[in-house]
Amino acid sequence: MTDEPIRIGVLGYRFMGKAHANALDRLPMFFEDAPETERHTVIGRDEEALAEAADTLGFSHTATDWRDVVDEVDAFYNLGPNHLHVEPTIAALEAGTPVLCEKPLAPTLDGAERMRDAAREAGVPVGCAFNYRFVPAIRYAKRLIDDGELGEIRQVRGRYLQDWLSDPEAPWSWRNDEEMAGSGALGDLGAHTVDLARFLVGDHVGEAASVSGHLQTFTEQRPVEGEDDDTRPVTVDDAYSAQVAYEDGAMGTFEASRVTEGHKNDHTIAVHGSEGSLEFSLERLNELRVNTGDNRGYETVLVTDEDDPYIQHWWPPGHVIGWEHTFVHENYEFLKAVAAARDDAGDAEAADFSPDFEDAYEVQRVLDAVERSDATGARVNLD
């Protein structure tokens, strides 16, 4: 086993860059068996801002072109805007470099397919950063479902509500542009919900078989920050809703919005079976509401015991963790896979990471079907 640290290159240094850099900083303090890492290169366009970011986030090098980096590091984190996911990621994979890419995998289904195929060809660890899979309460919920505590799964319901675009004067950003983002609330938020549903119940209900979807844009123009009286068109959805029929007969109901006043980061998912139900809310991240056949209603389970998923690495029982810890867990699992692959230990399972690009592509198929259903006004069958 090599003692060399895993050199990490990161494209993007703002919101997600900070989240992942913080996770890398926490790993050696709380996860004793985590691979050693080196925050090697941070990549962006503005050299002055890059220098400041490198100092703040703990990177030793900077670069303004990802082409100079993808074959010089041991793992490439693609945290850039959606339209920058495809080409840098494929280049890294062609260089044999493992990749962790932010969600959604690509702006379009075609781009996601190209990334999936490149990952198959490369044969190195890849991951799509659906960090909510790594919430202890979600892992606990999956355990209950897989153990049959809810019986036959019948329904899954998910919503993801935010309000940061409720004000029509909120400034335009790349997230409002179809060419750069692919979609709005659908890809930005809905991707999380579709993946989480698939993670929790996919082994029991199969893949999505058909989808009916609706997209809505409420504000058609938004002001450009710093430019008086200048506006740009909004070419993505502010909100979406969808109904999903799964292969084995279960149904899913999903919605997301970035214009729901009073909701800051309200991601809720519920699963209903023949013998029980459960419900999780990101705004109460350490709790899981569970009903296992008691007609008197739900009980609230605090998922902070030492034998709960990941909790043994943190604080004494009852001391809650937060949103940022999901990135620590995600990085821990991904980097273990990278280390196992690099050491060529012969354990293929240890070098696997989930969610990988196969998982992310299946999510993208659903997102694409929602868009096609909205465009045609008809239900879309997924082959």
| Structure confidence by residue, pLDDT tens digits, 169-202 | 999 999 999 999 999 999 999 999 999 999 999 9
For residues 117 and 51, what is the distance between their CA atoms, to the nearest angstrom? 35
Q: CB count, 10 Å around CB of 237?
A: 26
Q: For 67-77, how does the pLDDT look when each residue is reduced to its tens digit (9 = 90+)?
A: 999 999 999 99
**Looking at the predicted structure, is the pLDDT value of residue 89 above 60?**
yes
**Looking at the predicted structure, is the pLDDT value of residue 2 above 70?**
no
For residues 115 and 256, what is the distance between their CA atoms, to the nearest angstrom? 26
* pLDDT at residue 197 in the model: 98
**Looking at the predicted structure, is the pLDDT value of residue 5 above 70?**
yes
For residues 377 and 48, what is the distance between their CA atoms, to the nearest angstrom? 48
- In this structure, are 113 and 27 located in the same domain? yes
- In this structure, are 71 and 115 located in the same domain? yes
* pLDDT at residue 343 in the model: 80
Following DSSP, what letter does each residue of 159-225 receive, concatenated? EEE--TT-STTSPP-GGG-HHHHS-SHIIIIIHHHHHHHHHHHHHHH-SEEEEEEEEE-S-SEEEPT
**Looking at the predicted structure, is the pLDDT value of residue 6 above 70?**
yes
Following DSSP, what letter does each residue of 75-123 receive, concatenated? EEEE-S-GGGSHHHHHHHHHTT--EEEPSSS-SSHHHHHHHHHHHHHH-
Residue 33 forms part of a structural domain: yes
- In this structure, are 156 and 233 located in the same domain? yes
The answer to whether residues 236 and 217 touch, using CB atoms and an 8 Å cutoff, is: yes
Q: CB count, 10 Å around CB of 14?
A: 13
* Count of domains for the chain: 2
Domain that holds residue 10: 6-132+326-357
CATH number, domain with residue 30: 3.40.50.720
- In this structure, are 257 and 372 located in the same domain? yes
- In this structure, are 291 and 158 located in the same domain? yes
- In this structure, are 173 and 232 located in the same domain? yes
- In this structure, are 143 and 291 located in the same domain? yes
- In this structure, are 352 and 227 located in the same domain? no
Residues in the chain: 383
**Looking at the predicted structure, is the pLDDT value of residue 351 above 80?**
no
Q: For 123-177, how does the pLDDT look when each residue is reduced to its tens digit (9 = 90+)?
A: 999 999 999 999 999 999 999 999 999 999 999 999 999 999 999 999 999 999 9
Residue 1 forms part of a structural domain: no
- In this structure, are 179 and 298 located in the same domain? yes
* pLDDT at residue 279 in the model: 98
The answer to whether residues 371 and 217 touch, using CB atoms and an 8 Å cutoff, is: no
Q: pLDDT category, 228, cuts 50, 70, 90?
A: confident
Per-residue pLDDT, averaged over 283-296, amounts to 90
Residue 17 forms part of a structural domain: yes
* pLDDT at residue 350 in the model: 67
- In this structure, are 225 and 303 located in the same domain? yes
Q: pLDDT category, 293, cuts 50, 70, 90?
A: confident
Residue 264 forms part of a structural domain: yes
Residue 203 forms part of a structural domain: yes
- In this structure, are 171 and 298 located in the same domain? yes
- The helix or strand, by DSSP H or E, that contains position 6, with its residue range, turns out to be strand 6-11
- In this structure, are 165 and 258 located in the same domain? yes
Per-residue pLDDT, averaged over 268-297, amounts to 94
CATH number, domain with residue 149: 3.30.360.10
**Looking at the predicted structure, is the pLDDT value of residue 346 above 60?**
no
pTM flag (> 0.75): yes
**Looking at the predicted structure, is the pLDDT value of residue 121 above 70?**
yes
For residues 237 and 178, what is the distance between their CA atoms, to the nearest angstrom? 9
**Looking at the predicted structure, is the pLDDT value of residue 85 above 80?**
yes
